[in-house]
Amino acid sequence: MAENQGGSADGKAGAASGAPAGVLTAQQLEELQQTILGTMIKWQRRILRGAEVLSSPLEIEVGATSYETLHKRDRVELRLYKSTAKQPLATPTILVYALVNRYYMMDLQADRSMFKVFLDAGLDMYVIDWGYPTRGDKFLTMTDYIEDYIDHMVDEVRRRTGQPQVNLMGICQGGTFSAIYAALHPEKIRNLVTIVAPIDFDTDTGLLNVWARRMNVDQMVDTFGNIPGEFLNVGFLMLNPVRLMFDKYVSFLENLDDANFVANFLRMEKWIFDSPDQVGEAFRQFLKDLYQQNKLVKGELEIGGRKVDLKNITMPVLNAFAEADHLVPPACSRRFTELTSSKDTEVLAYPTGHIGMFTSRRSQTEYTPRMAAWLAERSGGRAAAADGPVEASGKGARRRGGKE
C-alpha cells in the first residue's frame, strides 16, 4: 500500500486533469508538438543555410604559405617553399605528393600547416606539383612519372642548390613513387621519408585494397581514357559512407554559427573535391602491378626496363603511418623498412587517420616536429657556400668550378 501511494503522484496529476495515468494531457501534448515543430523549423533553417553555403562558390583560401615556381616540365611544376630559419639545412628536401588530390592539404591554413613546421625547422621544401592532366596525357606511364618527371626535378634541385643529394619525402602514392625512385637512384638520395605510403599491397584489411584487387581496371581505362576525378571521389566516399556522407554534414549544420569551424570545414571540402583526373596508363599499371599483383614487394616491378629492388635503398629511412588509416591500412606500410638494406631506420606509428596525419592538432605539435627533427639530424648541418653548382645528369653529378 505504501508503495502504491508513493508512486501515485503522476497518476493523481493525470487523474486531476482528467487523463488516465501514463497518458499525456492535452496541455502536455500541445507542448510536445510545439517542441517538435520548433526543432523541425530550426533544422530546416539550418539545412537551408548550410545548402546555401555549400552551393555557393567556395570563396575560401587554401595554401597558407607563399612559394616560388622555379621550373616547369610539361604540366608539372617545381615550387620552392623557402625555409624561415636563419640558417637553413644544407640538404634540400623534395616533396612528392600523390597523383590523387592536391598537396595543399599539407598547408591548409596557418595553424594547420605541416609546411610551416618543416620551414621553421630549417628545411627548404621543393614541391613537385603534378597539375591537372588532360586527355593528351592518357598514355603516360609510371615510368614517365618516376624516371622522367621526378628524376628531372631531382636533378634540377641538385643543379640549383649545388648539393649532390636531396632528401626525398613521399606522401601516400607519392611515397610509393619515392621508394621506387630511391631504389633506382640511391646515389641521389640522402634521406628517404615516406608518410602513409602503401608499399605492401597484400592485405585485405582495407576496403580499398579489396575493391582494387577485384576491379576490372582494363575496362575502366579503355572506357574512360583518363579516370575522372569525380568518379574516384564517389568510390572514396563509399569507403565510409556514414561518416563521409552523413555525420560530417550533421556536424557542419550543428556548427554553422562557428565561423572558424565553417572555414575549416570548407577548406577541407575544397581539398576533398579538388581531384585531378588520373592518367589512364599510369592508373592501369598502379592497380595491376601493385594492388593486384604486389610486384614491388616481390621484386618483379619494372620501371623503364629495370627491375625495382627495394634492397637498393641504403640511405636512412623514416616511415610514418596512421594506425586508423582507412585508405592506406597500417599493414600496407608497416614492413617497408624491413624490405630495405638501410642501417638507419625509424618507424612512427601514430594513433590517427589518413587525414589526421596532416591536419590534426597532434600533427602540428607532435607528428610533424618529430619528422622534421629526424631530417635535421641527418641533413649535413646548416647550409654553407658550395664549391659550385652541380652539373646534373641521368646517373650522377659533378661540380662545375670545383674538384671532381
pLDDT per residue as tens digits for the range 339-356: 999 999 999 999 999 999
Confirm whether 33 is domain-assigned.
Answer: no
- Judge contact between 217 and 284, C-beta under 8 A: yes
Indicate which residue of 146, 168, 172, 313 is catalytic: 172
Q: How many helices (H) and strands (E) does the chain have?
A: 19, 14
Q: Which domain holds residue 84?
A: 68-381
Confirm whether 185 is domain-assigned.
Answer: yes
d(CA 336, CA 98): 18
Beta strands (DSSP E) in 290-359 are 302-303, 306-307, 317-322, 345-350
H/E element, 128? strand 125-129
- Judge contact between 65 and 116, C-beta under 8 A: yes
d(CA 110, CA 372): 17
Confirm whether 29 is domain-assigned.
Answer: no
pLDDT at 58: 57
Confirm whether 316 is domain-assigned.
Answer: yes
Confirm whether 75 is domain-assigned.
Answer: yes
pLDDT at 2: 45
Instruction: Give the SS3 label for residue 10.
Output: helix
Confirm whether 400 is domain-assigned.
Answer: no
Confirm whether 28 is domain-assigned.
Answer: no
392 phi, psi to nearest 5 deg? -80, 145
Long-range Cβ contacts of 11-16 (<8 Å, 24+ apart) = none
Q: Is 172 annotated as catalytic? A: yes
Amino acid, single-letter form, for residue 200: D
pLDDT at 401: 32
Confirm whether 274 is domain-assigned.
Answer: yes
Number of domains into which the chain is organized:
1
Which pairing describes strands 317-322 and 345-350: parallel, antiparallel, or unpaired?
Answer: parallel
Say how many CA atoms lie within 13 Å of 81 toward its Cβ. Answer: 27
**Dihedral class, residue 396 (left if φ above 0, else alpha if ψ from -120 to 50, else beta):** beta
d(CA 241, CA 235): 10
Which pairing describes strands 302-303 and 306-307: parallel, antiparallel, or unpaired?
Answer: antiparallel
Here the CATH number for the domain that contains residue 340 is 3.40.50.1820
Q: Which of 203, 169, 126, 233 lies closest to 378 in space, CA to CA?
A: 169
The x, y and z cell numbers of residue 230, run together, are 569525380
Amino acid, single-letter form, for residue 249: Y
Q: Which of 374, 378, 319 lies closest to 349 in space, CA to CA?
A: 319
The list of the chain residues with pLDDT below 70 reads: 1-22, 42-43, 50, 54-59, 246, 383-404
